[in-house]
Structure 1
Amino acid sequence: HKHDAKVAYEGTRGYQPLVAVWAEEQLIVADEFRDGNVAGCEDPLSSARRAMDNLPPWVQERYFRGDTASYYTPLLKYLVAEKIGFTISADMTKELRACCLAVPGEQWVELENRGSERVDIAELEFTPGEWPKNALPLRYVAVRFTPLQAELFDSMTPKHLAIVSNRAQVEAGVLVRWHREKAGTIEHVHRVMKDELGAGVMPSGRFGTNAAWFRINALTFNVLTVLKRRALPERLREARPKRLRFELFTLPGKLTVHQGRLSVRTSASKERLQESVEARGHLLAMRQARRTG
């Protein structure tokens, strides 16, 4: 069902949707269905702006984490202007790589030792050419990965990454760890949408139809998140759709009518049935609260 799909960068036909997630609440606040030949680095600003605008008014502090697709000067300018704290993986250009290699050895600080490699960080004095000269300089932190044991045919040459941020007051190690936490957020959302909901299989060869299908999956993801966090017991707070399907949505039962009374017989335990009753009560209370206010 990818007849109209464009060829992506890896040579296959497909789509490259862009998703913005509210990490603390595990809610998708913006999504954009894109053709496969539209790179993630092409105008991420519109999706980021829409995501921020979709946050409820009671959110007082906003932060942004992104990969190299978000390393986009208009987006950086927007985040700085809106006073939104951010960390974004920087494109490793020749100039930035040269800056990383020029850092003296004593300025590298060990962040962690993984056994097979050591991870060090260092502050960089770097300003990209497209950044306005009169603007406040951004903060660049380099991350160096040094192999401690060479695998067969592997090089012992250290690898370098870098992140850019406007959070000048945060200690470098804390900043890098916070940035890396994004991997546990967006990848989880992608995995659930593709493998456990329906976003992994498109229903049509038409772009618009597939875009609507992807949006339905995003809405379903959010509905399940609200269900888990506002209605279901704590033990199901991090449950994935497969578990919810087993424990809640496909609970078998037999309807019986006796003396004009409708009842259901099920093999579920009393505790699980009570959880379902309480969850329904929580949902009804939420509905009533929205009506009144």
Structure 2
Amino acid sequence: MKPSHTIRPVFDDPNLVSAAGLVPALRLAESAGLYDLLDELSVSSANAAAKSAAVIGGMLAGADSIDDLDLLRHGGMSRLFAGVRAPSTLGTFLRCFTHGHVQQLDKIGADILAGLAVRVPDLIAGSHGREGIAFLDVDDTIREVHGHAKQGAAFGYSGVRGLNLQLATISTPLAAPMIARARLRKGNTASHTGAGRLLAQAITTARAAGVKGQVLCRADSAYYGWAFVGTAIRHRAWFSVTARMNPAVVKAIASIEEDAWTPIAYPNAVYDEAEDRWVSDAEVAEIPFTAFTGRRKAEQVACRLVVRRVKRLQPLAGDGTEQGELFAAYRHHAFITNSILSMIEADQRHRDHALVEQVIAELKDGPLAHLPSGKYAANAAWVAHAVLAFNIARATGVAASLRTARWATLRTRIINIPARIASTGRRLVVHLPQHWPWASSWELLWSTATDPPTAVAT
């Protein structure tokens, strides 16, 4: 491509918009109850629902800071949307939030997810029947921040100064992950802190969103403890948690007979960070195990210990040649589970826990590129709005038949589409680009967002 030399740019058209896809996206959210639920916010700020919707709309269009919310105020946006506010107004609004208001917004996010699941039935596909299965993945991450005015910022396990975000996602073998619950915490908070309460809320949210099948709760070794496992058991869910290599686990692994190991081959290679290489095969075995034997009897958990072992690379000799193998050395990866899945499937399902990292990456590539305020509660409110925006974007993608598309892809193809506004009678006509490559997807979204909901068979 080569730009023409006859171009003369002029910013003078009041009828152009750069994010016409916000119309069906927010119409879809409205049909799921967004505006009615936001009216329940008790934040001490006038028109709180309109301001909250403006923050969500800005995030859907790509805003990752308060100043970026100004992208809603251009061209004909005020003709398409009521209640657009200036960034300074929205920043003041976010600073009005308290911890209790953030919890209100978290509850609204859970209710919106349930509404979206009704409006877009395939949002959590494969979990509505009793024979289905859904995965709840819990993890946390550090969002690095700068400046001494950031409340709650501290050095956490990653060695950087920031704030800690803990979240739980819902996914199925047929559906991309949605965020069930999320919370912002101080930067030096331990990963497992509050895991039990978060998981309980996430399971409740999943059930409210229509998950009727089995729930498998997955987490890494940071969550290896009674708080997480006990919560899963109390809610009659399966758990699958990476085991810490404590003496009891090491002893159990050592007791596995050599003929108990079953070779497996990965359809796609798995990257082993410790060995700094790609691995395409391994061996798996399992053994009965009792976890948390240091706790009282009622909190000791009889379960399965599933172990995957990968052969270590042999070191090179001093002259750079490959040494002969005197004996095989292995790296072991173990997890505990109470599922009735086969050993091979249990290992595969546990490794799929890495899906939660995709959600974290999408958030950091979007609204959580920054935590924009110096006030902790304002940043917590920003995170809660980001969760709402993420789930609306995911529902938008499913409705547009782009169920596996990432948020950045949806912004490019569906949301940030330019348009020109014209009036005819009492209606607005939005003229979209001719030959837009994803026009059919956009029209599918529009139909879902504007048509009456499908009647539920009884």
TM-score, reference length from structure 1 = 0.83
Tell me the alpha carbon deviations over residues 204-258 of structure 1, each in whole angstroms, 9 at most, x when there is no partner.
22221111111111111100111112x21x2x22222222222222222344579
Tell me the alpha carbon deviations over residues 45-90 of structure 1, each in whole angstroms, 9 at most, x when there is no partner.
0100010111244422322111112212132223223321121111
Task: Kindly provide the amino acid, as one letter, of the partner of residue 250 in structure 1.
Answer: N
Cα distance, 1:100–1:56 mapped onto 2, change above 3 Å: closer
Q: Match of 1:268, SS?
A: coil
Q: In the alignment, is the contact (CA less than 8 A) between 2:397 and 2:410 conserved in 1?
A: no
Task: Kindly provide the amino acid, as one letter, of the partner of residue 346 in structure 2.
Answer: L
Aligned equivalent of 2:194, options 34, 37, 43: 43
Q: Does 1:141 align with 2:311?
A: no
Q: Which residue of 2 aligns with 1:158?
A: 330
Q: In the alignment, is the contact (CA less than 8 A) between 1:116 and 1:149 conserved in 2?
A: no
Cα distance, 1:247–1:158 mapped onto 2, change above 3 Å: same
Find the aligned partners of 1:258 and 1:170 in 2 and give their Cα distance. 60
Task: Kindly provide the amino acid, as one letter, of the partner of residue 110 in structure 1.
Answer: P
Q: In the alignment, is the contact (CA less than 8 A) between 1:63 and 1:85 conserved in 2?
A: yes
For structure 2, the residue ranges without an aligned partner over 5 or more in a row are 1-144, 270-277
Tell me the alpha carbon deviations over residues 162-199 of structure 1, each in whole angstroms, 9 at most, x when there is no partner.
111112x322111111111121x20110111111x111
Task: Kindly provide the amino acid, as one letter, of the partner of residue 186 in structure 2.
Answer: D
Find the aligned partners of 2:335 and 2:221 in 1 and give their Cα distance. 9
Aligned equivalent of 1:123, options 286, 292, 295: 286
Q: In the alignment, is the contact (CA less than 8 A) between 2:421 and 2:430 conserved in 1?
A: yes
Find the aligned partners of 2:341 and 2:427 in 1 and give their Cα distance. 64
Task: Kindly provide the amino acid, as one letter, of the partner of residue 205 in structure 1.
Answer: G
Find the aligned partners of 1:262 and 1:78 in 2 and give their Cα distance. 52
Q: Which residue of 2 aligns with 1:65?
A: 218
Q: Match of 1:39, SS?
A: coil
Q: Is 169-178 or 244-253 further displaced after alignment?
A: 244-253
Q: Which residue of 2 aligns with 1:219?
A: 388
Find the aligned partners of 2:429 and 2:221 in 1 and give their Cα distance. 57
Aligned length: 283
Counting aligned pairs with the same residue, the percent is 22
Find the aligned partners of 2:313 and 2:196 in 1 and give their Cα distance. 39
Alpha-carbon RMSD: 3.1
Q: In the alignment, is the contact (CA less than 8 A) between 1:117 and 1:149 conserved in 2?
A: no
Task: Kindly provide the amino acid, as one letter, of the partner of residue 283 in structure 2.
Answer: D
Q: Match of 2:305, SS?
A: strand
Q: Match of 2:286, SS?
A: strand
Q: Match of 1:79, SS?
A: helix
Q: In the alignment, is the contact (CA less than 8 A) between 1:44 and 1:69 conserved in 2?
A: no
Find the aligned partners of 2:395 and 2:206 in 1 and give their Cα distance. 15
Cα distance, 1:165–1:251 mapped onto 2, change above 3 Å: same
Q: Does 1:76 align with 2:76?
A: no
Q: Which residue of 1 aligns with 2:69?
A: none
Task: Kindly provide the amino acid, as one letter, of the partner of residue 392 in structure 2.
Answer: V
Cα distance, 1:121–1:131 mapped onto 2, change above 3 Å: farther
Q: Which residue of 1 aligns with 2:341?
A: 170
Tell me the alpha carbon deviations over residues 242-286 of structure 1, each in whole angstroms, 9 at most, x when there is no partner.
222222222223445799996555433277445434422211236
Q: Which residue of 2 aligns with 1:239?
A: 405
Find the aligned partners of 1:152 and 1:193 in 2 and give their Cα distance. 46
CA drift of 1:109 comes to 1.8
Q: In the alignment, is the contact (CA less than 8 A) between 2:419 and 2:432 conserved in 1?
A: yes
Q: Is 69-78 or 35-44 further displaced after alignment?
A: 69-78
Q: In the alignment, is the contact (CA less than 8 A) between 1:117 and 1:147 conserved in 2?
A: no
Q: Match of 2:232, SS?
A: helix
Q: Does 1:90 align with 2:243?
A: yes
Tell me the alpha carbon deviations over residues 28-47 of structure 1, each in whole angstroms, 9 at most, x when there is no partner.
11112111211112231010
Find the aligned partners of 1:38 and 1:259 in 2 and give their Cα distance. 58
Find the aligned partners of 1:224 and 1:89 in 2 and give their Cα distance. 31
Q: Which residue of 2 aligns with 1:52?
A: 203
Task: Kindly provide the amino acid, as one letter, of the partner of residue 168 in structure 2.
Answer: A
Higher relative contact order (CA 8 A, sep 6+): 2
CA drift of 1:18 comes to 0.9
TM-score, reference length from structure 2 = 0.55
Q: In the alignment, is the contact (CA less than 8 A) between 1:117 and 1:148 conserved in 2?
A: no
Task: Kindly provide the amino acid, as one letter, of the partner of residue 170 in structure 2.
Answer: W
Q: Which residue of 1 aligns with 2:368?
A: 199
For structure 1, the residue ranges without an aligned partner over 5 or more in a row are none
Task: Kindly provide the amino acid, as one letter, of the partner of residue 248 in structure 1.
Answer: I
Q: In the alignment, is the contact (CA less than 8 A) between 1:15 and 1:33 conserved in 2?
A: yes
Task: Kindly provide the amino acid, as one letter, of the partner of residue 206 in structure 1.
Answer: K
Q: In the alignment, is the contact (CA less than 8 A) between 2:200 and 2:235 conserved in 1?
A: no
Q: Match of 1:9, SS?
A: coil
Q: Which residue of 1 aligns with 2:5?
A: none
Q: In the alignment, is the contact (CA less than 8 A) between 2:165 and 2:184 conserved in 1?
A: yes
Find the aligned partners of 1:258 and 1:17 in 2 and give their Cα distance. 48
Q: Match of 2:369, SS?
A: coil
Aligned equivalent of 1:27, options 175, 178, 201: 178
